[in-house]
Amino acid sequence: MADQRLAGKVALVTGASSGNGRAIALRYAAEGAAVVCADIEPLPIQGSWEDPVPTHEEIERLGGRAAWAPCDVTDGAQVAAAVAQAVEVYGGLDIAVANAGISPKAHPLRDEPWEDYKRVQSVNVDGAWWTCREASRAMVDQGRGGSIVTLASIAGITGVQTGNHYNMSKGAVVQLTRTLAIELAPHMITVNAICPGWVRTAMTRDMWDEPDRLADLERRTPMARLGEVEDIAGAAFFLASDDARWLTGAILPVDGGYSAL
């Protein structure tokens, strides 16, 4: 099914139980990587249409190598433990994907609940910080380079109305990516961000489950369709592959042309 171009690599994917994270973990495993699937719960989130089988079990069923790591990315100790699990079980860490994120209901700033704002920053910003910090420590220590992929959003590079809390958090991920790319370049560790557009996941379901809203989203996207999780997984595979070995600090929109308007 794949060319096994990640054979011998070890990957950690946060938020791997559902959506983009699940698709990325499955793609990496199909390409031969051993994958640590880190998430709060092993099952896809409630409301997901995905097969209710934990990602690591699905990878094993398909003949790959995977393990689940219980991980709340707002807790640095849990992130460090997930990285340590990759090193101890599979012998190192070559790829880390800071994917875990949340997107509560959008409000005008004057009505945005403080609790929502703080929770979004804790998961989307602190979680990315912890993941990048612990992964980069492991990669520098082992001295064989590596790839870090962050999941930002078109909300981090455009004025799309998905909430001030969310847009601010994804803008922070973009800047973390650029800064860390420069810092880690001497260690041959690449750091790049994927900025998904409107992708069909359980987290965005309320935006596309209604025919009128779906039609509006498709109308505003030049390629006239929503993204699928496999579109994001394909970009994540490229960024982790040797084809991207001289690509770092890139902020890559995968959005059907939305951000080009």
- Alpha-carbon span 85 to 195, nearest angstrom: 28
Instruction: Pull the structure tokens for residue 259.
Output: 């951000």
Residues 123-152 have pLDDT tens digits of 999 999 999 999 999 999 999 999 999 999
- Alpha-carbon span 101 to 107, nearest angstrom: 18
Residues 89-122 have pLDDT tens digits of 999 999 999 999 999 899 999 999 999 999 999 9
Residue 81 lies in a domain: yes
Q: What is the pLDDT of residue 69?
A: 98
Number of domains in the chain: 1
Which residues form the catalytic set? 153, 166, 170
Q: Give me the DSSP letters along 192-250.
A: EEEEE-SB-SGGGHHHHSSHHHHHHHHHTSTT-S-B-HHHHHHHHHHHHSGGGTT--S-
Residue 1 lies in a domain: no
Q: How many CB atoms lie within 10 A of CB 121?
A: 17
Q: What is the pLDDT of residue 65?
A: 98
Give the E-state strand segments of 83-188 in sequence order.
95-98, 146-151
Residue 192 lies in a domain: yes
Answer whether 219's CB lies under 8 Å from 161's CB: no
Instruction: Pull the structure tokens for residue 108.
Output: 């005008």
Torsions phi, psi for 95 (to 5 deg): -140, 135
Q: What is the pLDDT of residue 207?
A: 79
Residue 3 lies in a domain: no
Residue 5 lies in a domain: no
Residue 135 lies in a domain: yes
Residue 260 lies in a domain: no
Query: What SS3 class is residue 13?
Result: strand
Q: What is the pLDDT of residue 2?
A: 66
Which amino acid, residue 234? G
Q: What is the pLDDT of residue 100?
A: 98
Residue 45 lies in a domain: yes
The CATH number linked to 243 is: 3.40.50.720
Instruction: Pull the structure tokens for residue 62.
Output: 């398909």
Ranges of the chain whose pLDDT falls below 50 = none
Q: What is the pLDDT of residue 162?
A: 86
Instruction: Pull the structure tokens for residue 131.
Output: 């993941």
Q: What is the pLDDT of residue 210?
A: 87
Tell me which residue range forms the domain holding 180: 10-251
